Structure 1
Amino acid sequence: MPSNIRALVVDDERYAREELIFLLSRHPNVEIVGEADSGDTAIMQAIRLQPDVVFLDVEMPKMNGIEVAAVLKELKTPPQIVFATAYPQFAADAFRVNAIDYLLKPYEEDQLTQTLHRIKVKETVETANDSLHQLGKLAMEKDGEIVYIPINSILYVCREGSVTRITTKKEVYEVKLTLKELEKRLLPFSFYRIHKSYLVNLLHVSRLSPWFNGAYQLEIEGIPEKLSVSRNYVKGLRATLEH
């Protein structure tokens, strides 16, 4: 894990940028790699500088922070996003684009310290996942700690609203990662998407039954509920299971 958090600060108001840069500079593990005063400049800077985190103002002319975050999410190596705004009503939109945190202006040092802690924990989890990949474990944050989940113990993963749930034989974990992000991490293992909101571990599939309109239901060992398989995924799923 890098010793410093490399940060890009984006705000169309110069004094707001300077205030946040000053507060961040008081933390020895933060390196300010750049700043931007508009959405399009922020995107160009993020591509060029590859920051770990972008502190992003929500309300900006032409291209607002939510729109910028949606673009940054599609980068090959997307930075973490922390939104900064004086208006709390934007919180729901912020977390739809998977922001790690949401800072309200005027900034409070305690809140900023907590945000930096979350960023560091997330980086630790991602680094752990890189090193644990060959061991067949997935690192997850839970209650401020890092837990290591044996990948073969995962039964299925589902996305409900803004929450992703990982169901194992013993426990259910709620994580901020999107289903797409988890699918990428689990791709080398025995996981298959059966629905826009579900990934299943094929090692634990016990039965596939016709339902209606070309859809199927999937039964997983150890759980009573049946999972719906969208008809768009049925053919590929059967081919994989029956190979």
Structure 2
Amino acid sequence: MKLAICDDNKNQLHSIAQMLERYVTPEGEKVRYDLYGNALDLVSNLSSGRYDALLMDILMPGLNGIEAARDIRQINEDIPILFLTSSPEFAVDSYRVHAFDYLMKPVDEAELFKGLNRIFAIKKELVSHMLTIQNAKELHVISLSQLEYVEINNRTLLFHLIDGETKALRGKLSDYEENLLSQPNFLKIHRSYVINMDHMKSLNKNSFETMTGKEIPISRNLLTEVHTQYVNYLHSAIRQ
């Protein structure tokens, strides 16, 4: 996990850096971090995916923390921002820019570590819902919620997304089956197809129709099992 810490007070910046040197993630890993003395430098160096979270002072000369957060949200809507403040009066403003949380100064190490543990847990949960596909020349990260179905055709894997886009690369379906089928909404219905049941419009006798209108065949040997699992999935979804 990599963090950015922004505070115009050098003593505060140094103090937080020392705390981070003592922090390890719930999986026992050290964090990396960059230090910034003003918000403008942070915003200028921010790129999507470079940092996993931001720790940022609110009261800073020039561009303050709230103003910087508004700019950051134009670049990255999801990155957790943990505000550091000497007054609770900024709590409302911090939530308007979708802050993850805020800590009162002087920052308590135990509270800081709790906040970082929560961020780590959320990040880990998000990663578990992403699929990384790659070969020697390409790498794509796909949200599983956006994946309609996967098929293998002449040694080419086709990842069909709900927006109509298809990611294609050479490979084997077995390379991704374990990851896909660990999710409760994915089901293998044929040696060449794994579907996301969330995006199926209907189940016919021998096939599924997707929300985008495509027909996907069900293996004759799997018909009974697939029908049973799909019905169970629908019942489970209704109960939730």
Query: What's the TM-score once normalised by structure 1's chain length?
Result: 0.51
Residue 30 to residue 87, structure 1, CA distance change in 2 (3 Å): farther
What code does the residue aligned with 2:31 have? E
Residue-by-residue CA offset, 1:79-108 (whole Å, 9 max, x unaligned): 321100111111111111111121111111
Residue-by-residue CA offset, 1:114-156 (whole Å, 9 max, x unaligned): 10111111101211221443379xxxxxxxxxxx896849xxx
- The corresponding residue for 2:6 is 10
| Residue 26 of structure 1, aligned match among 22, 27, 44 | 22
1:112 lines up with 2:112 in the alignment: yes
- The corresponding residue for 1:129 is 129
| Aligned residues of 2:48 and 2:76 also touching (Cα < 8 A) | no
Deviation of residue 48 (structure 1)? 9.0
Deviation of residue 9 (structure 1)? 0.7
- The corresponding residue for 1:60 is 60
In structure 2, C-alpha distance between the alignment counterparts of 1:119 and 1:50, rounded to whole Å: 15
- The corresponding residue for 1:80 is 80
In structure 1, C-alpha distance between the alignment counterparts of 2:31 and 2:11, rounded to whole Å: 19
Q: Report the 3-state secondary structure (helix = DSSP H, G, I; strand = E; otherwise coil) of the residue aligned with 1:47.
A: coil
Deviation of residue 30 (structure 1)? 4.3
In structure 2, C-alpha distance between the alignment counterparts of 1:98 and 1:66, rounded to whole Å: 10
1:92 lines up with 2:88 in the alignment: no
In structure 2, C-alpha distance between the alignment counterparts of 1:75 and 1:67, rounded to whole Å: 13
In structure 2, C-alpha distance between the alignment counterparts of 1:88 and 1:14, rounded to whole Å: 22
- The corresponding residue for 2:152 is none
In structure 1, C-alpha distance between the alignment counterparts of 2:67 and 2:116, rounded to whole Å: 23
| Aligned residues of 2:48 and 2:75 also touching (Cα < 8 A) | no
What code does the residue aligned with 2:40 have? D
| Aligned residues of 1:21 and 1:32 also touching (Cα < 8 A) | no
Query: What's the TM-score once normalised by structure 2's chain length?
Result: 0.52
What code does the residue aligned with 1:112 have? L
| Aligned residues of 1:55 and 1:81 also touching (Cα < 8 A) | yes
Percentage identity across paired residues of the two chains: 24
What code does the residue aligned with 1:64 have? N
Deviation of residue 32 (structure 1)? 3.4
CA RMSD of aligned residues (A): 3.0
